[in-house]
Amino acid sequence: MISAHFWTSEQFWLSVGFLGQAFFSTRFLVQWIASERRKESVVPVSFWFFSIGGGFTLLIYAIYRLDPVFILGQAAGLLVYLRNLYLIRRKQSRLAEARA
């Protein structure tokens, strides 16, 4: 008889948590590579997208865990990451208008 292995709920949620942590950790790798290429400290736009991906995934995981400290930390972080993307886009728009 062939036995099919199905993930348990706990295994699934641990995978979600590890995926979020992987996204979140990747942002530092992206920032490091960008800084090394420019020979100065820079924060590329992709850093903020990885921050949002990781923060959102970890927020979902924190909600599943019902951890209020984790939930508050990730939710607050998401606001900062989104605000930074907004500021970057606004600056790009202003620069484009100035050139036109």
Please count the residues of the chain.
100
User: CA geometry: angle at 63 spanning 58 and 67, to 5°?
Assistant: 95
Predicted TM-score (pTM) of this structure = 0.85
Q: Dihedral of CA 30/34/36/42: which sign?
A: negative
Q: Give residue for tokens 């036109």.
A: 100
Mean pLDDT by 10 residues, the chain (100 residues): 71 94 95 97 96 97 97 97 96 89
**Cα–chain center distance at 95:** 27
